[in-house]
């Protein structure tokens, strides 16, 4: 008689195995891309939550400590510092966009390879079974569904990150402008 705790771990594993069997190896690739995509998203959240504010505060303090705030060279230096800091916030954005774009393509690849397998199976049986074809088509479209679902979630995150970057860029410029005017900006 199996231990009840063992069933807690084996039931999800069996469900996962059935899902992979139904979707094929492309579903594993989509899962890998999804894990990478959401790992980058979690890393950006962590960076923004814990590192960004500290770096922004340090930049404002460095700007405030300068004597010159109005000359061309001072304003150019402020712009360079700002761009550098915003670039650190923006760094994984191209990778996130690439992974989002890759998901539907992988889903389409899974559907095409699944449909080829369905038609090969039907040709080997030499009969036209509507039920077998319907099951095969349903299994073949599973990667497209998974790819689109991951892409939509990734697109939502990427759009939100772009909004945060624009907002933080504006806030950083505002804080640096106030820091030159008041000592406690």
Per-residue pLDDT tens digits for 125-174: 766 676 767 777 777 888 899 999 999 999 999 999 999 999 999 999 99
Calculate mean pLDDT across residues 92-99: 95
Cβ neighbours of residue 2 closer than 8 Å, sequence gap 6 or more = none
SS3 call for 3: coil
Q: Are 18 and 142 within 8 A, CB to CB?
A: no
Give 47's DSSP letter. I
Cβ-count burial of 176 within 10 angstroms (0-12 exposed, 13-18 middle, 19+ buried)? buried
pTM of the model: 0.78
Per-residue pLDDT tens digits for 84-93: 999 999 999 9
- Per cent of the chain over pLDDT 70 is 90
pLDDT bin (cut points 50, 70, 90) of residue 102 is very high
């Amino acid at each position: 008689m199996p231990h009840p705790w063992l069933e807690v771990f084996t039931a999800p594993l069996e469900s996962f195995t059935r899902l992979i069997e139904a979707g094929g190896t492309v579903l594993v690739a989509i899962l890998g891309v999804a894990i990478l995509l959401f790992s980058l998203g979690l890393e950006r959240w962590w960076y923004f939550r814990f590192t960004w504010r500290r770096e922004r505060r340090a930049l404002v303090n460095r700007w405030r400590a300068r004597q010159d705030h109005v000359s061309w060279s001072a304003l150019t230096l402020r712009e360079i510092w700002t761009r550098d800091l915003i670039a650190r916030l923006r760094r994984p954005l191209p990778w996130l966009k690439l992974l989002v774009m890759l998901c539907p393509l992988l889903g389409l690849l899974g559907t095409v390879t699944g449909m080829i397998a369905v038609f090969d199976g039907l040709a080997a049986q030499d009969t036209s079974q509507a039920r077998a074809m319907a099951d095969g088509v349903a299994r073949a479209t599973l990667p497209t569904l998974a790819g689109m679902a991951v892409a939509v979630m990734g697109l939502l995150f990427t759009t939100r990150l772009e909004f945060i970057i624009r907002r933080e860029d504006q806030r950083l410029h505002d804080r640096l402008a106030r820091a030159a005017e008041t000592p406690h900006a």
